[in-house]
A and B are shown apart, each in its own frame.
Chain A
Amino acid sequence: MDVIINLLVNGLATGMLIFLLAAGLTLIFGLMSVLNFAHGGLFAWGAFGGVWIFGLTGSFLLSMAGAIVIGMLIGLILERFLIRPVYGDHIQQLLVTLGGMLVLSELLKVFWSPNPIPAAVPSYLQGSFDFGGIILIKYRLFVILVGVLIYIALHLLLTKTRLGLIVRAGVIDKEMVQALGINIKQVFTFVFLLGAGMAALGGSLLAPYSGVIFAEMGMQYAILAFIVVIIGGMGSVPGSAVAALLVGVLGSFMAYFVPELSLAVNMLLMLFVLLVKPSGLFGAKG
């Protein structure tokens, strides 16, 4: 029983980290049809930035906030100089953002180290809770908590604010949104920064979770996030959340029970969903 619960908690925590990446990706794709392969780079920068700031200040809260700021700053540069010039051209987006991803991870090696760097869990989040014999690692619960809070904040933003209405309408029909007098490019910049901030936060949360960070760490999570975006339905934040938790939990159980299959299972899940419902679980677009 406690094995099952622990696997579940692990899976949910991993799922939350994937969600932080996927939420930005799905909005960016849904709103502007931009494929951003540099998103994983933001995740890695968030991890390095977070570890660096934690080392300097000793404050984990500051390190998370700092990671978000770093992610948004890099996002600003990416959006202005890489993405904007290639709106509407998927091939160029692919090349330019993949290039951006490589540059981002090489720069990490230059600024910090080409070798993995250890990342510590803050003292108050070390250890575990004992729930009547079931031992749960504190930090993983913390990751889940942060994920839930971010999801709620994002949900409120998208459903309760005018900006959120604009973003959701833009995912459905961009032209119509502009025909209502709304400058969608501005909105897109905002969404890109939001996505960048969430990705970097995800990275900073992963660092203590995995214990070491390295420049290419964004890649594996970025691939999972892309799978999640497709499963959840391009442009759907709730879809991404459900799919991310599904992929996280499934991955955790598979790694324990059938480790040989743990990578293939996500691909299979994606194929299955695409066959049954090509627009994804919560697909807004047909």
Chain B
Amino acid sequence: MLLQLDQVETYLDQFHILQGVSMEVKKGSITVLFGRNGAGKTTTLRSIMGLSPIRHGNIRYQGEEIGQLPTYMVARKGIGYVPENQGIFTDFTVEETLRLAMQKGSDEEKEKMAWMLDLFPDLKLYWKKQSGHLSGGQKQMLAIARAYVNSNGLLLIDEPSKGLAPIMVEKVMMHIEQMKQKTTVLLVEQNFFMASRIGEHFYIMDEGKIVHSGQMHELTDDEEAKQKYLGIA
């Protein structure tokens, strides 16, 4: 297992938000975390990144405990983060953003960058454009590219479809699927239709707990579970 969460509990202020979350992400896969608004999906990703410190439980990445590490150390272990609000550095150009994301400027990073730009030709096209002026979909791709160039093992992507037009959602999802050739993805999504097409494993969370999990095709066929947990008729 690339990533393992074991009984993770996180508090925001005095509120007990994650109440014992356990989940696993297999190397080379896309794992999708579903759940209603306010279920705790974002808090789960933030807990992994060390942005919302965990109070109890363990988080292991490549077998190593990372649950107590500061965010920058978690990132240096190889985990990349694409936040729900995209976290775009608005007055940076695309070029500056990706330059900042390259930690060492090594050949490996340059290779990743080249591959990334082939995948997202828009970024090359708008290389010198201020990222605050990109379209929503382009910003999302920039945020994903930034995380990919910066990390080397796992991407945490929080609701990439949010606020995008349907055709853009499709494009972004397709790109995330292509990223699987190179990395592992833990994807938070509410768009079941889109995410179920690219994910292999799923978890469903509700009120700070995992309530269901398994192989994606099992969920696709399980009308009862979809109805019960995701409100899909």
Contact = CB atoms under 8 A, between A and B. Distances in A.
Interface of A: 162, 165-166, 168-169, 172-173, 175-176, 178-184, 284
Contacts of B72: 178-184
B180 interface: no
A165 B100 contact: yes
Interface residues of B toward A: which range? 20 to 34
Nearest to B75: A181
A175 B91 contact: no
Nearest to A176: B87
Contact of B100 (A175, A180, A284): A180
Per DSSP, chain A at the interface is: helix
Interface in B18-62: 49, 51
B204 to A, nearest CB: 25
Contacts of A179: 49, 51, 71-72, 75, 80-81, 83, 87
A280 to B, nearest CB: 14
Contacts of A181: 72-73, 75-76, 103, 150
Interface of B: 49, 51, 70-73, 75-76, 80-81, 83, 87-92, 96, 99-101, 103, 146, 150
B51 A175 contact: yes
Nearest to B90: A172
B83 A176 contact: yes
B91 A173 contact: no
Contact of B146 (A162, A172, A180): A180
Nearest to B149: A180
Given A178-B75, A181-B76, A166 B91 contact: no
A173 B89 contact: yes
A168 B89 contact: yes
14 contacts: A165-B92, A165-B96, A173-B87, A173-B89, A175-B83, A176-B83, A178-B72, A178-B75, A179-B71, A180-B72, A180-B100, A180-B103, A181-B72, A181-B150
A168 B96 CA distance: 11
Contacts of A284: 90-91
Contacts of A162: 99-100
Nearest to A181: B75
A184 B51 CA distance: 13
B101 A178 contact: no
A215 to B, nearest CB: 40
Given A180-B72, A180-B75, A184-B72, 6 more contacts: A165-B100, A175-B71, A176-B81, A179-B72, A181-B150, A182-B72
Contacts of B83: 175-176, 179
A169 B75 contact: no
Nearest to B105: A162
A168 B87 contact: no
B83 to A, nearest CB: 7
Contacts of B89: 168-169, 172-173, 176
B100 A169 contact: yes
A181 B79 CA distance: 9
A168 B75 CA distance: 19
A142 to B, nearest CB: 33
Given A172-B91, A180-B146, A165 B71 contact: no
Nearest to B78: A181
A126 B18 CA distance: 69
A168 B71 contact: no
A166 B103 contact: no
B97 to A, nearest CB: 8
Nearest to A172: B89
A184 B71 CA distance: 10
4 tightest A-B CB contacts, nearest first = A176-B87, A181-B75, A178-B71, A179-B81
B103 A169 contact: no
Contacts of B87: 173, 175-176, 179
Nearest to B50: A178
Nearest to B101: A180
A165 B75 CA distance: 18
Nearest to A284: B91
Nearest to B103: A181
A235 to B, nearest CB: 10
